[in-house]
Amino acid sequence: MQFDFNKNESLSKKITITDLNSETISKHLDKFGCCIIPNFVDPNVCDRIRKKCIERAEVEKDINFSDGSYRRYDIYQGTGAASNKRVYHVDCFDEEAMQFKTNELFAKICSNFYGGKDDYSVHVQVYERHQYHPIPVRGFHIDTFELSTFKIFLYLSDVNLEDGPTSYILYTHNDAELRRMKKEVWGPVRSMGFKKEIDPHPTNFLPNELGEERLKNWVRVLGGKGTVFLFDTWGIHCGADVEQNGDRHVLINYYRKGKNLPRSDFGFDAASDYKKYAGRDFKK
């Protein structure tokens, strides 16, 4: 599907908000499934967080740090998904990342998202670096069928088309029939461009399953460093392939329902994770 920059700009404006009021933002999320807040974090803060994360991410091996954070290097090689470099629990070693995790505005928004109660937790905060990789990124998908979760991205670098921006199909977070069809009728599929030896995944969608009308609301989320992107993970989303001159740095808060949930070990054991979340044994 050919990218239409003018259409993308129009869709981006629709979901961009500068009124930092939790009720206003929550209404945007309810309607569209996502929301862009530009210039939310000072670029200098983004630079400082990114610098600390790069120091840990660019070591080409897995490391468990004494502060409780850990780094995983290309942990999903062999699964058919483009790898990225990840550092888990950034809040363990960076106070400004901790402030992003515990931000009061986000707390109010998440309370609204989970029914007006403080019944949620940031169970993991992850830094990701996305660079060019010959294997394509995972295509259209939702995170789970079982529960709607919530993510907040902080762009630690400027994100343009060449940097493989995340993308979202507006309104699909409320499309229960679409999720039912995928789970009960269409079944698992491989993302487009994946090799045949890669197992299909139950929450992947093909463009023909989504249909032309839904795809008209597909937006790629571009933005300068300091941009925040909030979204309901029941909405259809995916990354884009990073071009050879691209480089994307992002800090992500993962929210789950449940107060005072234990800190997630997501990513700690790649084999266990992949078996749990993809439903098959990890292949190296």
119 Cβ neighbours under 8 A, 6+ residues apart: 257, 258, 259
Quick: pLDDT tens for 52-106: 999 999 888 888 999 999 998 765 554 545 568 899 999 999 999 999 999 999 9
d(CA 130, CA 164): 8
Q: So what's the pLDDT on residue 75? A: 53
Q: So what's the pLDDT on residue 43? A: 98
Question: Across the 284 residues of the chain, what is the mean pLDDT of every consecutive 10-residue run?
Answer: 76 95 95 97 98 92 90 61 82 97 93 81 92 87 88 98 96 96 94 74 94 95 98 95 95 88 72 51 34
Closest C-alpha to 231, from 36, 24, 27: 36
SS3 state at 252: strand
57, 71 contact by CB (below 8 A): yes
Distances (CA, A) of 44 to 13, 76, 95, 101, 158: 25, 32, 14, 17, 13
User: CATH for 5-278, among 3.90.440.10, 2.120.10.30, 2.60.120.620, 2.40.30.10?
Assistant: 2.60.120.620
Single-letter amino acid code for the residue at 82: A
Residue 137 CB: number of other CB atoms within 10 A? 19
Q: So what's the pLDDT on residue 57? A: 92
Instruction: Using a cut of 0.85, tell me whether the model's pTM lies above it.
Output: yes
Q: So what's the pLDDT on residue 210? A: 96
Q: So what's the pLDDT on residue 49? A: 98
Q: So what's the pLDDT on residue 273? A: 54
